[in-house]
Structure 1
Amino acid sequence: MATPIWAPGQNGPDQPNTARIRDYWLGGTHNTEADQQQAAQFVSASPHLPYLVRAHRAFLRRMVRKLTHLGVHQFLDLGSGLPTAGNVHLAAPDAEVVYTDIDPSVAAMSRDIIAGVDGVAHLCADFCEPAKVLESAEVRQTLDLALPVALLVVDVLHFVPDEKEPHKILRTYMDALAPGSHLGLSHTVRDPLQSAVGLFSSMYTDQVPQFAYRDRNQIVSFFDGLEVLGPGVVPVPLWELDQDEQDLNPEHFPGLGGLARKR
């Protein structure tokens, strides 16, 4: 039986891995033939998946640029995957960044990728345990929590079920951050992955990953107590769309994104 691609620490270069598949769809180079073959199978079931991944990454870059213009130069990126293909430290080269991912194999590859890059670290941790993340050596040695930090939760919160209390998790992070810190997140609204999940089920006998598809009101509530910045919580491609970016029917994108400030 094949090892599921979402099993942390299990898949080497000869087996597909979720983070490397995403890197492939983003045009990165840190992926293998196994990842590319698996990606092709996913696309045959859900052709829109690469577009969704690229739209979330473009949103991340736009948000990082805005935050640097607002004077924020510290970033804590939760569930970041591989730090490639326009990720935070590439969009803001002078920033201090801590990436996190639960997968030890992704963390090991990430540390190799960022080796020698000043002010950038990668922490292998479950971001649903904020105390462990905030007290880690990687965070304490890289970020100054007495100064504003941008907490980034992009294209990942829909993997956190309600029973893990995602609102409480985000509040714990934001309570620990200084005034002037920001929360930036994107979240899937509808179920564009239904056919892909069906494909997972047909390929593996293990339990498929669970997705928490929340509605607009639930997503907006993640910003409770914070000052939501313009243009508000909107479809991901519409959030401060660059003039040189084009998107067909962006208002129909099945995910929302937003940025908010801690007063």
Structure 2
Amino acid sequence: MSDPADIGFHANIPNVARMYDYYLGGKDNFPADREAAEQALAVVPEIRHSVRSNRAFLGRAVEFLVEQGIDQFIDIGAGLPTQNNVHQVASGARVVYVDNDPTVLVHGRAILGKNRNVSIVTGDLRRPREILDHPDLRAAIDFERPVAILLLAILHFIPDADGPADIIAELRSAMAPGSYLAMSHVVTDARPEAADGVTKAYNRASSPFVPRTSKEVIRLFDGFDLVDPGIVNLPEWRPRPGDAVPYRNIGDYFLGGVGLVTGDG
């Protein structure tokens, strides 16, 4: 995530949201984004499939959360709007999208229009208290009731120096019992030799790529009760009948899971 002090539109600097859009086959990207994305794809061609798996995981996770009675969502690091966004999957729910990327904010506000159940606010995950205290978010979300917070494909852009575990703990402290955290994170276990190449591809981008192992990612769920099947490769998380599960037998690759906040502290 870019620093708030340097927020602005820079077409010549690769932007992680626009790179993600390019992986998904979108058109909201520029030559610098495509060049950096192709550099990453040259190292890990599976990235295109992985980002689609992440979108599919979002849909299945949100459907599950709706079934649990969740009717308010905070999607942090939401990225550029695409198909099957949270408010489309959880129709009628209160949804707040949070991002600090100017491209995302402009596109999001233009597309969302005047949907009274949906808000998009400026916020940086590295400053979780500012997100939680944002007046527009507070106007939409009742923290006395269960809420779902989504951190999908964002924490691998948060360096260890920014304390990702502390960030999650801060968010968890605001969540009532019965709330959920859904998270996905790229891991290096299956392709450790590719980590340097992907990191280099993002060196000039708006946010760095932070390689982590599955053990490091699993620890980020500390304090939550994991929903079955736990933390698994994204296609393995509650696949629908007939869904392909391509990562089996190759090791951890792009992990996701959903954790429940209980009243046990």
TM above 0.5, yes or no, is: yes
Aligned position for 2:161: 163
Q: Which amino acid aligns with 1:9?
A: G
Alignment of 1:14-93 (within 5 A): 17-28=15-26, 31-32=28-29, 34=31, 37-38=34-35, 39-40=37-38, 42-93=40-91
Structure 1 residue ranges without an equivalent (≥5):
1-6
In the superposition, the TM-score normalised over structure 2's length comes to 0.84
Alignment of 1:192-203 (within 5 A): 192=194, 194-200=196-202
- For 1:217 and 1:46, the matched residues in 2 are separated by 21
Maintained 8 Å contact 1:83/1:99: no
More displaced 10-residue stretch of structure 1: 253-262 or 147-156: 253-262
Q: Which amino acid aligns with 1:69?
A: E
Deviation at 1:228, TM superposition (A): 0.9
Alignment of 1:238-257 (within 5 A): 238-252=236-250, 253-257=252-256
Aligned length: 251
Look up the SS of the partner of 2:119 in the other structure: strand
Deviation at 1:198, TM superposition (A): 3.2
- For 2:104 and 2:186, the matched residues in 1 are separated by 23
Q: Which amino acid aligns with 1:43?
A: L
- Residue 148, structure 1, aligned to residue 150, structure 2: no
Structure 2 residue ranges without an equivalent (≥5):
1-5
- For 2:34 and 2:165, the matched residues in 1 are separated by 37
Residues 119, 214 of structure 1: alpha-carbon distance in 2 compared, 3 angstrom cutoff: same
Aligned position for 1:3: none
Deviation at 1:153, TM superposition (A): 0.7
What CA RMSD, in Å, does the superposition of the two structures yield over aligned residues?
2.5
Maintained 8 Å contact 1:197/1:208: no
How big is each residue's C-alpha offset from its partner over 1:209-230, in whole Å with a ceiling of 9 and x where there is no partner? 4333333332222222221110
Aligned position for 1:233: 231
How big is each residue's C-alpha offset from its partner over 1:129-159, in whole Å with a ceiling of 9 and x where there is no partner? 1111011122112111111110111111111
Q: Which amino acid aligns with 1:197?
A: T
Maintained 8 Å contact 1:20/1:35: no
How big is each residue's C-alpha offset from its partner over 1:155-208, in whole Å with a ceiling of 9 and x where there is no partner? 11111122211111111111111111111111122055543433455xx5xx88
Residues 218, 36 of structure 1: alpha-carbon distance in 2 compared, 3 angstrom cutoff: closer
- For 1:198 and 1:157, the matched residues in 2 are separated by 18
Residues 32, 199 of structure 1: alpha-carbon distance in 2 compared, 3 angstrom cutoff: closer
- For 2:156 and 2:117, the matched residues in 1 are separated by 29
Deviation at 1:255, TM superposition (A): 2.0
- For 2:201 and 2:177, the matched residues in 1 are separated by 45
Deviation at 1:71, TM superposition (A): 0.6
Q: Which amino acid aligns with 2:161?
A: E
- For 2:201 and 2:171, the matched residues in 1 are separated by 35
Maintained 8 Å contact 2:75/2:151: yes
Residues 116, 189 of structure 1: alpha-carbon distance in 2 compared, 3 angstrom cutoff: same
Look up the SS of the partner of 1:223 in the other structure: coil
Look up the SS of the partner of 1:93 in the other structure: coil
Deviation at 1:41, TM superposition (A): 5.5
How big is each residue's C-alpha offset from its partner over 1:74-98, in whole Å with a ceiling of 9 and x where there is no partner? 1111111113222211221222111
How big is each residue's C-alpha offset from its partner over 1:35-84, in whole Å with a ceiling of 9 and x where there is no partner? 78444555345422211211111111110010001111111111111132
In the superposition, the TM-score normalised over structure 1's length comes to 0.84
- For 1:260 and 1:199, the matched residues in 2 are separated by 31
Considering Cα pairs closer than 8 Å and 6+ residues apart, tell me whether 1 or 2 has the greater RCO. 2
Maintained 8 Å contact 2:16/2:206: no
